[in-house]
């Protein structure tokens, strides 16, 4: 059987919130990761993309996980980097581990454990949530502990440094990248992963590359808001560098619309940051050109309702509508997923449907995230038209008619 490397789990690397305690020492991180493909070996990528200084990882290991903080210690495999158990990652750089034989079964959870002996700048990380997301940190070197100590560990939704887990798998397998902001950093990609595991044919992994607060066109270059992340021009080319990827599903842009309020309200959010629809569309076109150059198919999700959000205004609604209309009708992409119409109130489409609002009128509820995952089209038992080639023309026409 011919094999290749394919990313079976993925995560964006963004700017962790700046706090006085952003340095750690004698710390273990453990991240359970649901595997979406069978494989015979694995390797991982550690990324210090947003760090301002080098980071030294003292020890790294992989093991079969119980899906929480526990592992099967008989399956522990140390990971090395150019043959060494410790690795230093320069600021702004990433490193890939040596390949190690590690049989992986689709649907199985493995855990990657990282230990940092010395003072470490915890700057390169991203907050993710959802039924398959999150991890743990613990005091001391607990990389080989079957269960992290109850009194010395704690759950976290911030993933530091761990960017990708690749598996050596069948030549025909591939990866779909879900790219976006906080809405994608929350539950719908996890729901899509679960749906793919249940209904898919075992050939495709769904991974997340999302960072909360990010915009297509702007970023904050101040310590108050720099954890809102990097602009698309900086993020996107790096985040689509995924082994075995064939397509990217983009759901991004709402923060460009809702953030600017004027310096009289917030000195860091000038009106000059508010884009026109044409500027936003050109930013989305940059994504398309960049993805095409990388050999990827491109799909886009429409922007969700925002009526009731604290900065909601008619001009923002108009901007959202114009961008959505372009996404629904453009021939420049391979297809759209109409998340907006899946979760809005049909009688009042500028707002979420009943039960689909998390309460802040911007982020969906758990039920809405599940509904978003369902909106990615299915065909028979092979789940997701997005996970099949070529795209189905009738799906595109359906998206436009709505």
Q: How far apart are CA 337 and CA 340, in angstroms?
A: 9
H/E stretch holding 241: none
CATH class entry, domain 173-401: alpha beta
Tens of pLDDT, residues 240-262: 999 999 999 999 999 999 999 99
At 169, give phi and psi (nearest 5°): -140, 180
Question: How many CB atoms neighbour CB 334 within 10 A?
Answer: 23
Which pTM was predicted? Answer: 0.93
Q: What is the pLDDT of residues 19-77, one digit of tens each?
A: 877 899 999 999 999 999 999 999 999 999 999 999 999 999 999 999 999 999 999 99
Residue 164 makes CB contacts below 8 A (sequence gap 6+) with: 7, 9, 10, 11, 44, 45, 207, 242, 243
Contact 175, 67 (CB under 8 A): no
Q: What's the pLDDT score for residue 386?
A: 52
C-alpha torsion angle, residues 198, 199, 200, 201 (rounded to 10): 100
Tokens of residue 70, six digits: 């526990």
The answer to whether 202 and 37 are in contact (CB under 8 A) is yes
Q: Which of 233, 236, 214, 235 is nearest to 225 (CA)?
A: 214
186 pLDDT exceeds 70?
yes
Domain ranges in the chain are: 10-165, 173-401
Helix ranges, 58-169 (H): none
Least-confidence region, from 16-25, 223-232, 276-285, 354-363:
16-25
């Amino acid at each position: 059987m011919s094999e290749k490397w394919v990313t079976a789990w993925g995560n964006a690397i963004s700017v962790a919130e700046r706090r006085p305690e952003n340095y750690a020492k004698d710390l273990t991180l453990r991240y359970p990761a649901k595997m979406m493909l069978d494989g015979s070996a694995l390797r991982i990528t550690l990324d210090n993309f947003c760090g301002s200084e080098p980071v030294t990882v003292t020890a790294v290991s992989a093991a079969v996980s119980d899906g929480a903080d526990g592992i099967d210690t008989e399956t522990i495999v140390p990971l090395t980097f150019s043959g060494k158990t410790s690795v230093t990652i320069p600021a702004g750089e990433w490193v890939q581990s040596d390949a190690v034989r590690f049989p992986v079964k689709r649907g199985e959870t493995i855990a990657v454990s990282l230990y940092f002996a010395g003072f470490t700048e915890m700057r390169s990380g991203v907050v993710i949530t959802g039924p398959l997301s999150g991890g743990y940190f613990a005091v001391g070197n607990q990389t080989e502990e079957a269960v992290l100590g109850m009194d010395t560990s704690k759950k976290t939704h911030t993933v530091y440094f761990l960017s990708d887990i690749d598996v050596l798998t069948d030549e025909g397998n591939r990866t779909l990248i879900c790219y976006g902001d906080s809405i994608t950093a929350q539950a719908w990609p996890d729901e899509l992963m679960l749906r793919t595991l249940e209904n898919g044919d075992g050939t495709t992994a769904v991974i997340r590359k999302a960072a909360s607060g990010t915009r297509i066109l702007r970023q904050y270059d101040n310590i108050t808001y720099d954890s809102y992340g990097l602009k698309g021009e900086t993020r996107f080319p790096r985040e689509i560098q995924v082994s075995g990827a064939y397509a990217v599903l983009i759901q991004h842009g709402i923060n460009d619309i809702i953030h600017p309020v004027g310096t009289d309200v917030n000195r860091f959010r000038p009106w000059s940051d508010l884009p026109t629809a044409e500027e936003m569309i050109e930013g989305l076109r940059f994504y398309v050109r960049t993805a095409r150059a990388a050999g990827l198919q491109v799909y886009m999700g429409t922007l969700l309702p925002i009526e009731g959000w604290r900065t909601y205004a008619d001009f923002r609604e108009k901007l959202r509508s114009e961008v959505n209309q372009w996404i629904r009708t453009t021939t420049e992409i391979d297809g759209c997923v109409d998340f907006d119409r899946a979760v809005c109130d049909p009688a009042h489409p500028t707002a979420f449907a009943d039960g689909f609002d998390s309460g802040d009128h911007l982020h969906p509820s758990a039920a809405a995230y599940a509904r978003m995952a369902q909106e990615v089209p299915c065909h028979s038992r092979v789940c997701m038209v997005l996970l099949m080639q070529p795209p189905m023309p009738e799906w595109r026409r359906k998206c436009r008619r709505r």
